[in-house]
Amino acid sequence: MASCLVLGGAGFIGSHLAEVLLQAGHRVRIFDRPHLDRLPSFLQRREFEVFTGDFLNPYVLSAALEGSEIVFHLVSTTLPKTSNDNPVYDVESNVVGTLRLLELCRSQGVRKVVFVSSGGTVYGVPRSVPVDETHPTEPICSYGIQKLVIEKYLQLNHRIHGLDYCVVRPSNLYGPRQRLDVAQGAVAVFLDRALRGQPIEVWGDGSAVRDYLYVGDAAEALLKAAAFEGEPRLFNIGSGVGSSLKQLIKEIEALLGRPLAVAYAAARPLDVPVNVLDTSLARRHLGWTARTSLAEGLRRTHASMR
């Protein structure tokens, strides 16, 4: 079993990944911002080694990396909807921060880096669906651009220095522990407003189609990506099923057993009309496929929010 460091391990995806890694028998370290009170309760168990600090501080990051064999990079300082507001900050905090991370990984003898990119933003407006990994990458937000830049630097580091890596591009993730204060995703926001008796706010006419992937399935994909060796080193992970925002609302109505009030607003320029991922490569090479239906994932998310 390997010593694994999860950067962003107290967050939405990272906490689920840490749990899966521990269940698989790995030694798990968590690095996140210095807010231990925000840690999910199970992460406070002594089985987890917890480091806190600023991702951009090489001294605290180096301490967490010491002795780590596999590093899962889930840190992102921006979201797609805010990244265009300050692209300079997006690049300085994410791209430059990752370049320092890769230098530290080499000096500390890290064997492999698994990076969570973005299947929802790097492709831009799809020319065809489902979207496979060979589709042109033409992102329409800074978030997607910085993810692609980091992918390229991982490739360069492997070529020059031999640092192994794997990139996963998840679709629209949802599930328990998704943050509401920064509106990480439509599922959590819609469910929260429905439970509060507030109208659901939809950008556009509700026809936008997304590939909703349950976070537990994504954590399993990351586990398999860490174990996979060789080519390819880039994988889409998604449900492979497209659902419009209107369909998502109907699923929530069926779950709650009542109609919901919906308010429509002008579409945002950063939102593509459709995004559904082709996950054939992950199925073929990782032996992974999404197992949780949208209805079941919504049920689990709803149960956790209650």
Catalytic residues: 143
Nearest to 173 by CA among 290, 93, 264: 290
Nearest to 279 by CA among 246, 247, 243, 232: 232
Q: What are the CB-based long-range contacts (under 8 Å, 24+) for 93-97?
A: 93/55, 93/56, 94/146, 94/150, 95/146, 95/149, 95/150, 95/153, 96/56, 97/55, 97/56
- Output the six-digit token pair for 24: 């698989």
The per-residue b/e assignment along 81-95, b for 16 or more CB within 10 angstroms, e otherwise, is ebbbeeeeebbebbb
The enclosing H or E element of 98 equals: helix 97-108
| 104-to-57, 65, 154, 163, 196 alpha-carbon distances in Å | 11, 8, 13, 11, 45
**Kind of pairing, strands 164-170 and 112-116?**
parallel
For tokens 């460091």, the residue is: 5
Q: 58-65 and 97-108 helices cross at what angle (nearest 10)?
A: 40
Backbone φ and ψ for 234, nearest 5 degrees, come out as: -135, 125
